[in-house]
Amino acid sequence: MMLAFNPVLHGLRGIAACAVLLFHWVLLFPSLPNDLADVEFLGTSWNLTFQFGFGWLGVPLFFVLSGYLLGSQLTDRDISAMVIAKFWKRRLFRIYPAVWAQTIFLLFVTFGYFPALTFPDYFSALTLSDIIRNLFLWINLPPWMTRPAISTWWTLPVELAFYLLLPFIILLVRKFGLTTIIIVSFVITIAWRFGFMMLYKGENYSDHLYILDSIPGVLSTFVAGVSLAYLHVKFSMARRRLILLILAAAFLAMQYWLVANIGSYWSGHWMLAIWNPLMAIIIALGVYCFLLPTGKSSILGNKYLVFFGEISFGLYLWHLPVQGWISSFLPGNWSPLLNSGLALALTFALTIPIASLSYYFIERPIMGWGKSGPAMHT
């Protein structure tokens, strides 16, 4: 089933990219977020940047959207060897060219070809073998367990692993049924995460996220997205609003539980095994409700979010190097609060044109080479 253009889908991708950008802004330039975390209004203290600290949830949102988008392309197709090969080729053409372009640019900067640019040094401490493995995104994978040159790249081999598995997931759904595959995927994910807790017992689990969140540890998130391609349930607007209200309450409850228990969470609490799979269900159901036609325009489908969705991969790739560059020249005699606000404005002002160049001159043209017929850009 080839998906028709859905502006809400692109809007959600734009939100996911912006969420990750805001998450790293909070980490790197915390003064303004911290100041906005305790705002008095009507006699009550309000945390206006609470959700920014959970911007990393843009990653599972990306995973759910990938599962839905790509699953929809294969659900009604004959899964032959040729179809699988063409699917894999399209996905490789989608990921690698933009990564290689970024790598080449940052290598030139690292080794002094653009002395006026002081981007963070991502590569000089790496061996040639490490750089080559990063180029091919053999990151956090055995036998070398090479760490990503740029921390945000950790998701890319996870995405690639999902691309490899997806045709076989579709075949397994046809043989055993969707419900069985959903259950199996959640069992695999939870078992992997419990096994991780046993393997690293006594250590700070957050130091080993690259293992916890490798493909078995997030498989249920992708499968939750794939399952949306099979759902054909329609809701009235009133019921949809009720479902979204319940999901929003569950979403906030999960977040507040994590904030209140963050210490025990990272030191062995059983919720480490099930928090992410539960959040994947909430995100997937929310995505499904938002994607259902409403008969009127949606704020999620406005032209600005759609544009951000189009360039979302570039936003994801480039925002962290841009933020690192910004931190190198912010005036030291300015207040941290002013620098923090300026950093956010500059991050958007600089990342958007770079991501646009990446999309219109690298990603979209090369995606055309990688497909044999018209398809939705994903």
Task: Print the domain residue range for 322.
Answer: 7-26+55-174+218-248+287-369
Beta bridge partners of 44: 41
Q: Which two tokens stand for residue 156?
A: 């890319």
Beta bridge partners of 45: 40
Rounded to 10 deg, the angle between the 81-110 and 58-74 helix axes is 150
276, part of any domain: no
pLDDT tens-digit series, residues 10-21: 999 999 999 999
pLDDT tens-digit series, residues 24-57: 999 999 888 888 777 776 666 677 778 888 999 9
86, part of any domain: yes
Beta bridge partners of 39: 46
Q: How confident is the model at residue 352 (pLDDT cuts 50, 70, 90)?
A: very high
3-class secondary structure, 130: helix
309, part of any domain: yes
What is the total count of domains within the chain?
1
pLDDT tens-digit series, residues 116-149: 566 677 887 888 999 999 999 999 988 888 999 9
* Predicted pLDDT at 2: 56
Q: What's the CA gap between 229 and 68, in Å, rounded?
A: 6
196, part of any domain: no
**Residue-wise DSSP of 313-349:** HHHHHHHHHHHHHHHHHS-TTS-HHHHHHHHHHHHHH
* Predicted pLDDT at 296: 61
Mean pLDDT along residues 220-237: 91
* Predicted pLDDT at 373: 42
For residue 190, is pLDDT > 70? yes
Rounded to 10 deg, the angle between the 81-110 and 128-135 helix axes is 140
For residue 234, is pLDDT > 90? no
Give the CA distances from residue 314 to residues 29, 283, 361, in Å, rounded to whole numbers and listed in that order: 21, 23, 11
* Predicted pLDDT at 113: 65
275, part of any domain: no
* Predicted pLDDT at 49: 79
pLDDT tens-digit series, residues 157-188: 999 999 999 999 999 999 999 999 999 999 99
Q: What's the CA gap between 315 and 309, in Å, rounded?
A: 9
Q: What's the CA gap between 206 and 155, in Å, rounded?
A: 16
99, part of any domain: yes
pLDDT tens-digit series, residues 235-269: 788 888 899 999 999 999 999 999 999 888 988 89
Query: Residue 144: what residue type?
Result: W
Mean pLDDT along residues 331-345: 81
For residue 90, is pLDDT > 70? yes
Query: Residue holding tokens 């997806």?
Result: 166
304, part of any domain: yes
Q: What's the CA gap between 108 and 93, in Å, rounded?
A: 23
Q: How confident is the model at residue 375 (pLDDT cuts 50, 70, 90)?
A: very low
111, part of any domain: yes
3-class secondary structure, 258: helix
* Predicted pLDDT at 58: 97
Where does residue 75 rank: exposed (0-12), middle (13-18), buried (19+ CB within 10 A)?
Answer: middle
The dihedral sign for the CA sequence 131, 133, 138, 139: negative
How many residues does the structure list for the chain? 378
For residue 5, is pLDDT > 80? no
